[in-house]
Structure 1
């Protein structure tokens, strides 16, 4: 039986090992995106609607953080969570929670930067209308976030795609422990290096399927936003 056939069989039969790895990956990436949304969406909207000294510098830094090298993030989070680190007493290193932290650090700048651009564009369009209605700063943020909800769904899906495909940071802080912190990307890297291709190929098929679904949802969200605006 060829490696590709064996891989397809693992996927179609719902191999327990493969499904456990997929489930952990989805939980870790999903949790990271939720935390990033809670932090990034209000932060991006606040920067978009607030004028303060050094604002342009903050925007440049935020945009630059979108390209953070995952291995550097992994190293910084490792130092933070290690026994001698600031959060060492929490004992989070080499746990799924540590991987969530690392992915949150990676995804938050992406969500915040894209939210800032989206809300700023809407603010330029509706500024006079909102000013005429005497809408306060807090209500402006809420109103514009709600109006941008379809675009923000696309932003969140982009963040999820980034998190789900990440390997460098989570392998450093998670340790790639079998049955505990082994995700799709870290398993693919490990199994390929071991020459165990069926499991690696099977997880690759699932990962590609997830990427396709995420992109389809993002496209659907954009289309829904266009219909709503029209």
Structure 2
């Protein structure tokens, strides 16, 4: 209990004193996690809708890959992203390795299958009779998409929260592609691992409390949007 209490005290001090390094780490964590979740949602939402409502060759194979990707080990994602971004890799000219962009890329790889799979499930749960009713109204494509999203909004927001939770907790891939460089690619999870390896458990606990606070605040906001955004 003393260790937990010291962690809480340390976290409070860091927040009140606006420790520059902790502030920078926290802001970078928010930046890469929100950007990667946004990109994954931007790709995953239409992909999940297409998989739910369209039939085409190779659909079952894609679904198999997407569902299997939900359990993709982050270090495997980090390895592949590292190889692609390596100097001699296909995307080496971008020079993204050991930058925040590389962390975003790795986080998109681990969160995208989750968002696609869960949005697919959300759209598949829409009652077929309701789908026929919507089609009978003769809506435009945009109106049809809006109504489908409205009906599946709870599942969609759950998918976004799951994707965000995955990237907030991500450490292996971020460490591999980002290098945990001070002032450049160090985020809360990689900083916690580093502090634990140094035996600074009180600092690691403080960082964990900050990370949990961020997760709770963002989840609260998303839950609020889930309840209100599409209310008639």
The answer, yes or no, to whether TM exceeds 0.5 is: yes
- The answer to whether residue 24 in structure 2 is matched with residue 20 in structure 1 is yes
TM-score between both structures, scaled by the size of structure 2: 0.88
- The answer to whether residue 116 in structure 2 is matched with residue 97 in structure 1 is no
The residue number in structure 2 matching 1:211 is 215
Deviation for aligned residue 1:89: 0.9
The residue number in structure 2 matching 1:38 is 42
- 8 Å contact from structure 2 (residues 11, 210) kept in 1: no
Question: 1:30-78 CA distances to partner (integer Å, 9 max, x unpaired)?
Answer: 1101111111111110111101234333223211111110000000000
Structure 2: runs of 5 or more not aligned:
none
Deviation for aligned residue 1:167: 0.2
- 8 Å contact from structure 1 (residues 99, 174) kept in 2: yes
The CA distance in 2 between the partners of 1:7 and 1:218, in whole Å, is: 25
Match of 2:60 among 56, 63, 66: 56
Range that drifts further, 140-149 or 77-86: 140-149
The residue number in structure 2 matching 1:187 is 191
The CA distance in 1 between the partners of 2:140 and 2:113, in whole Å, is: 26
The CA distance in 2 between the partners of 1:24 and 1:219, in whole Å, is: 23
The residue number in structure 2 matching 1:130 is 134
TM-score between both structures, scaled by the size of structure 1: 0.89
- 8 Å contact from structure 1 (residues 75, 169) kept in 2: yes
Question: 1:147-204 CA distances to partner (integer Å, 9 max, x unpaired)?
Answer: 4345423322221111111000010000000110000000000011012234322211
The CA distance in 1 between the partners of 2:206 and 2:52, in whole Å, is: 43
The CA distance in 2 between the partners of 1:10 and 1:171, in whole Å, is: 23
Q: 1:73 to 1:170 in 2, by over 3 A?
A: same
Q: 1:11 to 1:125 in 2, by over 3 A?
A: farther
Question: 1:63-104 CA distances to partner (integer Å, 9 max, x unpaired)?
Answer: 111111000000000000001100001100000000000001
The residue number in structure 1 matching 2:148 is 144
Match of 1:67 among 65, 68, 71: 71
Q: 1:123 to 1:98 in 2, by over 3 A?
A: farther
Deviation for aligned residue 1:224: 4.2
